[in-house]
Every structure is written in structure tokens, then in C-alpha cells.
């Protein structure tokens, strides 16, 4: 079976690596001739809106899925006339716009951050009156890794934002004093079967994910149940097929949904070594109409993102149960170029292994817990 994937970045790369043992073949479409999947699979270089290229791309495919959430929804709908497309284009459309995402959370009674719509610089004052400061102004579309966002703390920030904001729909969100950021990864098969990974704790710097701890420390069964119930409602409402990620804020022991991604997710990379079945394999099983795999964790994992630079591989691999993933992208500041997962049987052993990481990782931006960073010195 040949699976077509829209987008040829690292998520696609890891999907293909998970799919080869299951005898899947892959064909990718990406506008960039440098897309990393070119190293390991057939890659078609074309714009997502080149319908002639899409038609040729779809020829002979069993199904199409995506690894990039900003694929124009017209491309997914066009392909759907030729070949099954999973997750449903409606999920893509909902997740691409913060307002429709919020509307879905509200319809499904999933608590989400309070917000107001902003369509122009003039609306901003009204929105600030309604929401208060501090607040976060976000473009509704095409924001990622903290891009298209302004944190407004003072009336000067509001005045500055008025002259900077694009002529595009935005939302103003209340600034949430969360105790931590979490995410849940869920999978739904074509049969309707569902599976959930444990909540993961995520640490960001400069809007980019730096560290994920799986399962989230101090995870209670109540919190896990609350997250699963929310994810299940989204999966069912969208008749979803594939892996879905929901990013959440934990506030006073309760969860607030921030946003969702209709695809495999950076906060699930740990599952390659840290779960019985990885998010990548489960996404492929789901879209291919196969039973889902076991999502149980294998001990404790920490995933560290490599942003713009790579460590000495020998120093990482000298640590027991350390796993290095390099995506084959050119090194540029702010770019995700690889990740490292450390796995261990106990939390204490994981802390010890994190402490063995070379000085490269002992910088503040890697977000290592203070006791670990200290022990490494």
C-alpha cells in the first residue's frame, strides 16, 4: 500500500520510518526541494495548490494524510474526490483557524481560555476592556512556534500592537497564569476504536517546545480522565481518523484547552522509544484501517528538541538508553533539526540520565529541571 503524505518535514520523515516495517510505501508532496523526506522516500516538489500536480500525485495511492497542518484545505478537499483523505479535511479546517477551534471547544463544553475577537486595530481597545491585561493577541491563522503572537501587559503594549498588527482576523486571549503546559495525544481508527497516550508535560522557550516529560510528573488519574474525555469529544465530533494532539494549560488542577493539531505532534516524539506503539505507527495504523497499537508507556521519557544546532552524537549516545534523531535539515537558528529522547525505568534513573547530558544541554533554554541541571555540573 502506498500512502501519500502532504508535507515533507520531520514529522513525515518519522511517519515513513515507522511505516516501512508494516510494508507501507510513501509518496510525499512538499513545495520545498529540500524537504528532508527526500532522503528516504519519493518526493514530489509542487505547490499545495497546483491541482494538476495533486492529481498526478494521487495516482495509485491508497490514501492521503498530512504531516503539516497548514496544507490549504482546498488541496485536501480536491484530493478527497480521488482518494480517501484522513484525518477529515474538516479537522484540518477547524484547526487552521483559532476562532473555529475555540468554537468547537465551546460547543463540546471543553473549557478554553477566555477570548475576544479582534478584526481591526480599533477592535483591540474594546477587546482589552473585555478581557483585561495581561493578554495574548494571536493571529487566527498561520501562527506556530510563538509566531503571530503579542503578549500585551501595559497600555503602551496595546498602542504598539495597534500599529503592528496585520489586517487579518485575530483573537485576544486572557493571559493564563498556568501552573504548567500539558498535551494529550489521542488516536482514532477507521473502526471508531480510540486510544490515548498519558498526558505529557511540555516546557517552551521563545514559543518553541524544548522539553517534554512523559508521562507528566505527578499525573493523577482524574487529570488523565479529564484530558481523555475532552479528546474523545473532539475525535467523535469530527469523525476523526488518525492521531490528534490537544495542547492544554493546567490551572488550579483543571485543564484549559489551548489549541489542537490534526496530526502527529512534537510532544509525542518520546513515544518512539517510550511507548509500546509510537504515535507515528498509531497514526499509520489508524489511517490504513488497521487496529490501533498499545499506547502504554515503557517507563519514563524525556524528549529534548534540538533547535538550530546539533550536539556531539558520541556524547549523547554514551548515555544508556539515549536516542538521537537527526532530521537531515540544514542548520538555522530557530529551526527544529533533531531531538534526543532519554528513557529510563524509574523517575530517579531518568533524572540521573538527564544529569549525564553533556554541557551542550545544560543551558537554560533546554529547561532541564533545576535539580538535574545542578547535578550535572
In the complex, which residues of this chain contact ligand AMP (CB under 6 A)?
A: 113, 136, 143, 146, 173, 175-176, 181, 204, 207, 247, 258-259
Question: CB of 114: closest distance to ligand AMP in angstroms?
Answer: 9
Judged by beta carbon, residue 192 or residue 206, the one nearer ligand AMP is 206
Question: CB of 111: closest distance to ligand AMP in angstroms?
Answer: 13
CB 13 within 8 A of CB 328: yes
Judged by beta carbon, residue 138 or residue 325, the one nearer ligand AMP is 138
β-bridge mates for residue 326, sequence order:
338
Question: CB of 303: closest distance to ligand AMP in angstroms?
Answer: 15
Judged by beta carbon, residue 153 or residue 296, the one nearer ligand AMP is 153
Distance from C-alpha of 348 to C-alpha of 356, rounded to nearest angstrom:
13
Distances (CA, A) of 376 to 55, 318, 369: 54, 15, 11
Beta strands in 175-230 (DSSP E): 180-188, 194-196, 200-205, 208-214
Judged by beta carbon, residue 28 or residue 270, the one nearer ligand AMP is 270
Judged by beta carbon, residue 143 or residue 369, the one nearer ligand AMP is 143
CB 300 within 8 A of CB 344: yes
CB 283 within 8 A of CB 241: no
Question: CB of 209: closest distance to ligand AMP in angstroms?
Answer: 8
Specify burial of residue 365 (Cβ count, 10 A radius: 0-12, 13-18, 19+): middle
Judged by beta carbon, residue 266 or residue 277, the one nearer ligand AMP is 266
Judged by beta carbon, residue 35 or residue 211, the one nearer ligand AMP is 211
Q: Check the CA dihedral 28-34-36-38 and report its sign.
A: positive
Distance from C-alpha of 100 to C-alpha of 94, rounded to nearest angstrom:
5
**Which of 282, 316, 275, 127 shows the shortest CA–CA distance to 190?**
282
**Percent composition of the chain: helix, strand, coil (DSSP 3-state, to 5):** 35, 30, 35
Judged by beta carbon, residue 98 or residue 285, the one nearer ligand AMP is 98
**Which of 80, 90, 73, 92 shows the shortest CA–CA distance to 4?**
80
Question: CB of 204: closest distance to ligand AMP in angstroms?
Answer: 5
Question: CB of 59: closest distance to ligand AMP in angstroms?
Answer: 36
Distance of alpha carbon 132 from the chain centroid: 29
Torsion angles phi and psi, residue 178, rounded to 5: -75, 155
Question: CB of 180: closest distance to ligand AMP in angstroms?
Answer: 10
CB 147 within 8 A of CB 207: yes
Distances (CA, A) of 231 to 3, 52, 110, 270, 278: 26, 36, 9, 20, 18
Judged by beta carbon, residue 261 or residue 354, the one nearer ligand AMP is 261
Question: CB of 93: closest distance to ligand AMP in angstroms?
Answer: 18
**Which of 20, 19, 41, 17 shows the shortest CA–CA distance to 29?**
41
Question: CB of 53: closest distance to ligand AMP in angstroms?
Answer: 30
Amino acid at each position: 500500500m502506498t500512502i501519500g503524505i502532504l508535507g515533507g518535514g520531520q514529522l513525515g520523515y518519522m511517519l515513513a520510518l515507522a511505516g516501512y516495517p508494516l510494508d507501507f510505501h510513501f509518496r510525499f508532496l512538499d513545495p520545498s526541494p529540500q524537504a528532508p523526506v527526500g532522503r528516504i522516500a519519493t518526493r514530489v516538489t509542487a505547490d499545495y495548490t497546483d491541482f494538476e500536480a495533486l492529481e498526478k500525485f494521487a495516482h495509485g495511492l491508497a490514501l492521503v494524510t498530512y504531516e503539516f497542518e497548514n496544507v490549504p484545505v482546498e488541496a485536501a478537499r480536491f484530493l478527497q474526490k480521488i482518494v480517501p483523505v484522513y484525518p477529515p479535511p474538516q479537522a484540518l479546517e477547524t484547526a487552521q483557524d483559532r476562532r473555529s477551534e475555540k468554537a468547537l471547544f465551546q460547543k463540546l463544553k471543553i473549557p478554553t481560555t477566555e477570548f475576544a475577537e479582534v478584526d481591526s486595530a480599533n477592535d483591540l481597545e474594546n477587546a482589552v476592556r473585555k478581557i483585561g491585561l495581561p493578554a495574548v493577541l494571536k493571529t487566527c491563522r498561520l501562527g506556530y512556534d510563538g509566531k503571530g503572537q503579542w503578549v500585551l501587559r501595559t497600555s503602551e503594549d496595546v498602542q504598539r500592537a495597534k500599529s503592528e498588527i496585520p489586517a487579518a482576523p485575530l483573537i485576544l486571549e486572557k493571559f493564563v497564569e498556568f501552573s504548567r503546559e500539558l498535551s494529550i495525544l489521542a488516536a482514532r481508527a477507521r473502526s471508531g476504536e480510540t486510544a490515548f497516550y498519558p498526558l505529557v508535560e511540555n516546557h517552551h522557550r521563545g514559543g518553541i517546545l524544548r522539553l517534554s516529560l512523559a508521562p507528566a510528573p505527578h499525573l493523577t488519574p482524574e487529570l488523565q480522565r479529564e484530558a481523555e474525555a475532552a479528546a474523545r469529544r473532539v475525535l467523535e465530533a469530527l469523525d476523526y481518523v488518525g492521531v490528534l494532539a490537544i495542547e492544554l494549560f493546567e490551572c488550579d488542577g483543571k485543564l484549559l484547552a489551548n489549541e489542537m493539531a490534526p496530526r502527529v505532534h512534537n510532544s509525542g516524539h518520546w513515544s518512539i522509544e517510550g511507548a509500546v506503539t509510537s504515535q507515528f505507527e498509531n497514526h499509520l495504523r489508524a489511517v490504513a484501517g488497521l487496529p490501533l497499537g498499545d499506547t502504554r508507556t515503557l517507563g519514563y521519557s524525556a524528549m529534548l528538541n534540538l533547535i538550530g544546532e546539533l550536539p556531539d552524537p558520541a556524547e549523547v549516545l554514551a548515555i544508556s538508553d539515549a536516542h538521537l534523531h537527526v532530521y537531515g535539515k540544514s542548520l538555522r537558528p530557530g529551526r527544529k533539526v533533531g531531538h534526543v529522547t532519554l528513557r529510563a525505568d524509574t523517575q530517579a534513573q531518568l533524572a540521573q540520565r538527564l544529569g549525564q547530558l553533556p554541557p551542550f544541554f545544560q543551558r537554560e533554554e533546554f529547561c532541564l529541571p533545576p535539580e538535574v541541571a545542578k547535578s550535572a555540573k
